[in-house]
Amino acid sequence: MFELKPLQYAYNSLEPFIDELTMKIHHDKHHQTYTDKLNDALKEFPDLQKKKAEDLLKEINKVPEKIRQAVINHGGGFVNHNFFWEILKKDINISGEIEKAITKKFTSFEYFKEQFSNSALTLFGSGWAWLVVDSKGNLEIMQTKNQESPLSQEKTPILGIDVWEHSYYLLYKNNRAEYVKNFFNVINWDKVNNNYKKAVKK
């Protein structure tokens, strides 16, 4: 059985950029539903229940066809949100190896910001924009639809933004651009830096 971990910080700690009610509904309701539905999908598959959810997504083609789409959707939702809560924190400036790597790859932080924001804004419908490390250790910006995970494409996410409307609609209404702009105030760059170091060490 997969379990929803409590949020490791107060629901209001990302205000004014992400509001308390959005965090409550997003974590306690949406993330809980992905967790429940993942467990539901795996009900008849005790051997799969023992695996790490990340590993199910990495080897998605080994998941029986009957439940594969459910694992993509709800396993993805479970894993993506676990990841998302951890990369959020206010007042953390970019530094360390990730800063060097971003500057090297994108020529400047500002240009990276523009490219990442553009990716988040041009994603049609529901999904995510990501900064990932590919199998050769290179940084790359990518999008995924719905709850699809970069892990299923041999990419390791190190930063991601949820652009489903449930992640911003209460505070920003239809204004995804404002949400994306403010997202840069709540990136936990220390965590992203750790994610990066782990991903390139593999």
Residue from 130, 164, 168, 179 touching Mn ion (CB under 5 A): that is: 164
Q: Which among 51-59, 126-134, 161-169, 191-199 is the span making contact with Mn ion, rule CB under 5 A?
A: 161-169
Q: Min. distance of Cβ 130 from Mn ion in angstroms?
A: 14
Compute the CA torsion angle 191, 173, 32, 146 (nearest 10 deg). Answer: -80
SS3 for 146? coil
Short-list 27, 143, 147, 25, CA closest to 88: 27
Q: Which among 47-55, 61-69, 160-168, 186-194 is the span making contact with Mn ion, rule CB under 5 A?
A: 160-168
Pair 192, 98: CB distance under 8 Å: yes
Cα–Cα separations (whole angstroms), residue 29 to 22, 163, 164: 10, 17, 14
Q: Min. distance of Cβ 174 from Mn ion in angstroms?
A: 17
Asked if 130 touches Mn ion (CB under 5 A), the answer is: no
Q: Which among 33-41, 43-51, 165-173, 180-188 is the span making contact with Mn ion, rule CB under 5 A?
A: 165-173
Q: Which residue is nearest to Mn ion (CB)?
A: 162
